[in-house]
Structure 1
């Protein structure tokens, strides 16, 4: 009966996972050594190891390598590999029976205890996973421990769970972590449990030290993307794999000792940004037998997302990015307080700001205020994207991309397709947001106007100058909106309060004012509004020269 409830595809050596990713020789040596030392340390106080890392950082390859080494050493108790694409292992339905089955294979007495537990409660597989874990794993193992001749140190003790984030549903991921804590850790069973996951909500919140996550004091946490620089390993991997491909190629250029070139390898290493998935994608593309590896490598190295481009060397990578981005968009826009917000537009705006593409880059909190959002909106925005981007906790924080290629994906309509947001759309959105906020400010009496922080400190006005291309992208309606309700006088108030003229962007601000005056006069037939602005322009220009 147990056999019918397991997920054999989740085994580390399942045929369904044929040729799974694993670490190349001489790569990831340090982190593999750290993991294997932890597994072998019976006296270590923390019996749970959680490894988090960016998408494509190589977590599954590490877990596979560890599983094979544990199996070879006779210490592998069980291994579970989740996959979002496989309905037999993308949920918790089969997780406990699969663990119980594998553990039972190591001891006939344990196997018999599990069988009796099922006979006593045939509907056990319909219970919660916590009840299943207690009935099928905890109690049978305690019965085994009660045997006088049982030696816990001789029982295979490594319990490996890969890809927690691939289990559908954040609540279900959290349920599994809670079950591991309450059943396996709290009962002091002699297992060393190694879990890998992208840093998504369930595991992130459980390990969070600031909010006193319940696993924080119990787990040994390795943050793979932050603690280990994989650059040298990726370089070695690319050299070895590409040279192997070349040695078996019919193309004499590929068999040459000068291929691949150092320059090409270094370009790829930089583009990988420390993430193995990029390097693995390149190798898989170059490996295509029906064309020359030399030509295909040059396609990768020189590839640009031009219209009509037929080559798609990063197609596999783009599927990964699109999947993560689409899920994050759906989750964000489903929240009622986010109704009306465009997730992709806001994310693209923060990308452009953080990469300082438009004159200056603001801290995440300051940029949220420019966008007229709450000051922590940027953190919520990326909360489901921690496997790709993060806002580091610092006094001045810009969005950090784990993958350089993910930023390039967002820049390319060819790659991101229906998820693409043009940069001009971001500029138009920010310009309109600032104009609307300025209208609210200028339409209220000075005595009652509650100026937003981004207005009073000048950030919003500077953003308008930068994102409107010094006024050239403003519509006629937006220019007239700025002028109405004593707009020039209110703008003068903001210039004085916000120290705009002392900023590095003061020249762009003055250029915008000059463009607005010219357009009022020549394009909008409003010479009176232009003349009213001119004294302020001269005043601000003179004040800037005096700085």
Structure 2
């Protein structure tokens, strides 16, 4: 047992609990005169535990027994060659490294002894063990972090920036939705690309959203990308492949590691062509994965890739490049599990690819939405259901009548819509505004009937024009 030393006149300049705290919980400024007064009687850091043994130190009126065992175990040095610390007196000048480690141990000990009982005096702390372990984060993944910088979160089907996205109402678009889901789930059909074209407002995005949610519920949704010409984060083709790769990595740990490794190997991959990105970030990882797993495991991988609004990609040449990349990298490779569903207006890029001489003519299943499906029945059901709901929630007793809206009113609106869901959606939004009676709003819409019904968008043009003029009117 070590005898108590004679108290010294030393007054420790410790900063006690009112000292400034560091974010990590350490007390800043506690390495003061206390450490300078600590004599090291003996230091012996063993190979396995690296233990530094420190003796009690007298400080003023209180006897403080510093930690007898301080374990220094760091992940960064655990694999390096262990070094035995001998008595510093026997090592001379060659012990600088050991002395540094001992000093670090002493500093940790001083901190522990001065912060455990900040308001106590005349106390003795014996046999205290402090294990200072530091481990590098296993989540440090620079390749994956770099990938995230080039993804487009707004383009995901469940992005918060697309809150309450358009989707099919109950009992609407039943036939076309069943056809789409049937094609996606029929993995034996030779055509692995489905292109749906239709005019603006025909309901393509609502169908795509509905299909995405159903595929997600079935655990077959691999990835989605919803273009928008008004959102600069998702109106170019540059972020399409990184965003698809990100979602692939979320679905499978092995794919995530392979994708991350590809980015780490070539940090400039996102400056390369779409074809190079597709091969390095999607095709190669999937091929490597398929060689390491059984066929059932590969078949269990989510496989539906959905791309909405290709026409809203601001560069037609990039639209064409994306279609060519999908053809060359995904469709030509029959070992890949993907089935791809793309929607677009019939603009130049997709129209030329799907025509008889186009490179996708034989490879894609083409649905022309406006021509193949009469949406009038669905529009009728949506208008009736939504307008009745607006009437029930309004304060106008006239709109609560079972006769509102009348059958004639609904048929007039259906005729004006000409199969375009966007017309019905615009009417519903206009009538639902709370500034006036929904009955009066609907009556105003019914008076805006175009004379030329041969033009399918004439009613929509007139509707928009009338709404804008009414909003601009001072009354």
TM-score bracket relative to the smaller structure: 0.5 to 0.7
Q: Kindly report which structure 2 residues correspond to 1:270-281, keeping only aligned pairs within 5 A, or say none.
A: 270-281=415-426
Alignment-derived partner of residue 196 in structure 1: 343
Determine the C-alpha separation between the residues in 1 that align with 2:286 and 2:435: 54
Asked if the contact 1:63/1:162 (under 8 Å) is kept, the reply is yes
Cα offset for 1:152? 2.2
> Is the contact between residue 416 and residue 449 of structure 2 (CA under 8 Å) also seen in structure 1?
no
SS of 2:381's equivalent in the other structure is helix
Unaligned runs of 5+ in 1: 306-351, 357-399, 417-547
More strand by share: 2
Structure 2: distance between partners of 1:407 and 1:3: 41
* Alignment match, 2:325: 179
Query: Cα deviation per residue 1:469-488 (whole Å; 9 max; x = unaligned)?
Result: xxxxxxxxxxxxxxxxxxxx
Match of 2:95 in 1: none
Q: Distance in 2 between matches of 1:406 and 1:25?
A: 24
Distance (Å, rounded) in 1 between the aligned partners of 2:249 and 2:385: 40
The TM-score normalised by the length of structure 2 is 0.65
Q: Distance in 2 between matches of 1:174 and 1:233?
A: 33
Between Structure 1 and Structure 2, which shows a larger proportion of helix residues? 1
CA distance in 1, matches of 2:463, 2:445: 14
**Paired residue for 1:10?**
155
CA RMSD of aligned residues (A): 2.1
For the residues of structure 2 that align with 1:401 and 1:52, how far apart are their CA atoms?
Answer: 19
Larger radius of gyration: 2
TM-score (norm 1): 0.57
> Match of 2:459?
405
Give the counterpart of 1:231 among 376, 379, 388.
376
Question: Structure 1 residues 407, 122: closer, same or farther in 2, change over 3 A?
Answer: closer
- Give the distance between the partners of 2:337 and 2:191, measured in 1 at CA: 11
Distance 2:155 2:201 in 1: 19
* 1:196 partner SS: strand
Closer, same or farther in 2 for the Cα pair 1:183/1:29, shift >3 Å?
same
**Secondary structure at the residue paired with 2:349?**
helix
The partner residue of 2:397 within 242, 252, 260 is 252
- In 1, distance between residues paired with 2:262 and 2:408? 62
Are 2:304 and 1:158 aligned?
yes
Quick one: distance in 1 between partners of 2:324 and 2:378?
Answer: 35
Match of 1:205 among 335, 344, 352: 352
Q: Residue 290 of structure 1: CA displacement?
A: 2.2
Aligned residue-pair number = 322
Q: Matched residue of 1:70: which SS?
A: helix
Q: Equivalent residue for 1:65?
A: 210
- The aligned residue for residue 86 of structure 2 is none
Match of 1:294 among 436, 439, 450: 439
Q: Which residue is 1:122 aligned to?
A: 267
Cα drift, residue 93 of structure 1? 1.8
**Alpha carbons 2:223, 2:247 under 8 Å: kept:** yes
Q: Closer, same or farther in 2 for the Cα pair 1:152/1:30, shift >3 Å? A: same
8 Å contact kept, 1:273–1:404: no
2:251 is paired with a residue whose SS is coil
Alpha-carbon distance in 1 for matches of 2:165, 2:460: 24
How far off is 1:247 after superposition? Answer: 1.2
The answer on 1:88 being equivalent to 2:233 is yes
Secondary structure class of the residue paired with 2:167:
coil
Q: Does 1:46 align with 2:196?
A: no
Retained in 2: the 8 A contact 1:133–1:183?
A: yes
One of 89, 100, 106 as aligned partner of 2:251: 106
CA–CA separation in structure 2 for the residues paired with 1:88 and 1:23: 26
4+ runs deviating over 4 angstroms: 406-410, 412-416
Q: Is the 8 A contact 2:448 2:466 kept in 1?
A: no
**2:342 alignment partner, SS class:** strand
Distance 1:26 1:414, change over 3 A: closer
Cα distance in 2, alignment partners of residues 408 and 245 from structure 1: 23
Match of 1:458 in 2: none
Evaluate the alpha carbon distance shift between residue 155 and residue 148 of structure 1 in structure 2; reply closer, same or farther with a 3 A threshold.
closer
Structure 2 residue runs of 5 or longer lacking an equivalent are 1-145, 470-475
Distance 1:224 1:304, change over 3 A: closer
